[in-house]
A and B are shown apart, each in its own frame.
Chain A
Amino acid sequence: MINTGVAPDHMMIAPILIPIVAGAIMLFYNDRNRQTKLIMGLVAVGLTFLASIELVSDVKSATEQGGTVVGLYRLGDWPVPIGIVLVLDRLSAMMVMLTALLAAPSLIYAAAGWHGKGQHYHSMFQFLLAGVNGSFLTGDLFNLFVFFEVMLAASYGLMLHGSGPERIKAGLHYLAVNLAASLFFLIGVALVYGTTGTLTMADIGRALYWLDDAERVLFHAAAGLLGLAFLIKAASWPLCFWLPPTYAAASPPAAAIMAIMTKVGIYVILRLSLLVLGPDAGPSAGFGAPVLMIGGVLTMGFGMIGILGTPELVRKGGYLAIISSGTVLTAIGFAQAGGGSLMLGGALYYMVGSTAAISAFFLIAEPVSRNDEGDDDAPVEDDGFDPLSERWAPMGLGTVEDTTAPASQRTVSWLTMSICFSLVAAMIAGLPPMPGFIGKLAILRGAIQDNLSTAGYLPMELWVYAAMLILSGLGALIALMRFGIRRFWAEEGPAPRILALEVVPVVLLLGMIALQTVRADALLGYTRDTARALLEPGVYRKAVLAGAQDVRAAPVSSLAPDPAPAPDEAPEAEAAAPETRPQPEPAPAAEMASPETQVNP
């Protein structure tokens, strides 16, 4: 009505609805119809991808026309601070697109046999996508919790898919850690509601301004608890010990799509820290930024040590995800502390590329580790190498190889895999033609430009970050090269069978990475605009709250929290009094009465 935003109204909810509906329809089919389900899943992912293209192009064209960059979708058409909204901006559009792009290769890979290892793989996969997309699109803190739980519940199922002792053991830890994190999340949400009286993300920033000192302390506690919950999800350093074993135990296609889940944690931190606690938040400005900076750098260091120390290739993938998280988290910390948009734009570009690379890495790691006995006759230094094939055997890996490919294809697929492995390693280490390099260069260049133009010198933390950025790449390169030389170069004997269905998704992901290099300028421009928009939370807030005047009709300055028992309702009661519009009464009633009374008093 008042703020229709840029997106065509119902397109915004499509990335949530399509996977949910597809996943639900799949439940009607017998689980043995896996080919049908696979096709349905691919169609759903394709539709989601088309929807995300539409959303991204809408957001882009709106910016070019100088319009508002935020689209709004009111569920049930309730007015804004009361009802639940979906909010679309550049960041969420980009993340939804990334999710769809990662989903398709993972699904194709699962068709090589993994989707037959347990029940309802495809339904859970779709529910996971719905949860991830919902988390990216929602503009409401509690709704975020719900989508988070949808995503987590599906991920429990996917992680345990295939069963086996290894997965059950890792799954128990994963579940316990995430249940605890969800409880932190809930405490944080409750505290936010208790202090600000609202759960709409845009409204929190506005209400924050009027908190008194005691409430502000409570709000900071809430922000800390929420941060804890999301940092667990994003795998920041002291909270990341669950990640490598979990991702290593999960089946490869599940791990590949779970690579986007750490990015959901990062997305929420990025969104909330800049929207609520950004530079314009008054006394709360920059709250938590040092934690992100220091924690991020330590995370990168931990990931580097981990990747050098662990002999198993799949676990190395987990540590790669940790390094990638640390890199982006530190950049967010800098941005929140007042760093410029150029650096954050580079970090976002890096995040897109590294997520795709990690996803590809998990898909590569399992096939190339097959039959890898560690070759005791030619011990390099990995004498205690865990024979991976043994580890996988109880999970029914053998049946994957039973569906044989022609013998001539074996070497070709093995060769392709090894080339893909080296490309992904180069990407992750940040070697020149790859987006990893472009991303890191953009981060560093942006940081230097931002700081030299404002402060005139480079702060100490930035030097540490730059050093870690390069060192962590070097660590990853050494670790992956050691594995690559031993496995692809030095090893003789028959190569394990790798199906074409397992090679194709990896090549697809690499194609995506290559496209990111070729179109680096366009993508970098997009992420830089995104970062600029993120650093102007006022625009987002105004766009979301434009319709809020319906309910809180008084000028913003009268919205100071009331010490009365119900601060969320009291301001509206006050606001209703000086209201000159014809509907003063339904304002407080709208919160709890039926829709009819709200529409027509």
Chain B
Amino acid sequence: MELILALAIGVLVGSGVWLMLRPRSYQVIVGLCLLAYGVNLFIFAMGRLYVGAAPIMPKGGFVDPTAYADPLPQALVLTAIVISFATTALFLVLMIASRGVTGTDHVDGKERHS
């Protein structure tokens, strides 16, 4: 499981970085999304990996905390997803505006060779 997750994060982040460095704004936004996915998975992994463990303990009494998944990274991921979703949406709006204003989808607003 560790290997699969590590590979998944690596592939997501690697392709995200590559896409983010591309000149087309559409590639950049897809790259940012992939990066955000990779980072979210990474936060998740930092709470250690559990299989079939609930993150929420039953009410009252002492329970063995090792039998439960760490809830904190899950809360962090939730916040991070919301924030990255919102900023990506804003980026999309800006991207479309830029396309409309400049007439090109190059991130600099003009083609390099023209």
Contact = CB atoms under 8 A, between A and B. Distances in A.
Contacts, number: 135
B65 A569 contact: yes
A186 interface: yes
A568 B72 CA distance: 10
A570 B98 CA distance: 51
B3 interface: no
A453 interface: no
Contacts of A564: 66
Nearest to B16: A183
A180 B35 contact: yes
A187 B25 contact: no
A94 B70 CA distance: 37
Contacts of B68: 592
A313 B97 CA distance: 27
B94 interface: yes
Interface residues of A, number: 46
Contacts of A173: 107
B62 A569 contact: no
Contacts of A183: 32, 35-36, 39, 84
Contacts of A588: 62-63, 65
Given A176-B107, A180-B32, A187-B42, A565 B65 contact: no
Contacts of B39: 183, 186-187, 190
A411 interface: no
Tell me whether chain A's interface is mostly helix, strand or loop, or mixed.
helix
Interface string B40-55: 0011011110100001
A340 interface: no
B11 interface: no
Interface stretch (A85-93, A163-171, A467-475): A163-171
A572 B65 contact: yes
Contacts of B28: 176
A569 B48 CA distance: 12
Contacts of A199: 72
Interface of B: 20, 25, 28, 32, 35-36, 39, 42-43, 45-48, 50, 55-57, 59-66, 68, 70-73, 76, 79-80, 83-84, 86-88, 90-91, 94-95, 97-98, 101-102, 107-109
The 8 nearest A-B residue pairs measured at CB: A194-B46, A569-B65, A190-B43, A190-B46, A585-B62, A169-B109, A165-B101, A565-B48
22 contacts: A156-B87, A168-B94, A168-B109, A172-B107, A173-B107, A175-B90, A176-B91, A176-B107, A179-B84, A189-B43, A190-B39, A190-B42, A190-B46, A194-B46, A564-B66, A565-B48, A566-B48, A566-B66, A576-B62, A585-B62, A589-B62, A591-B72
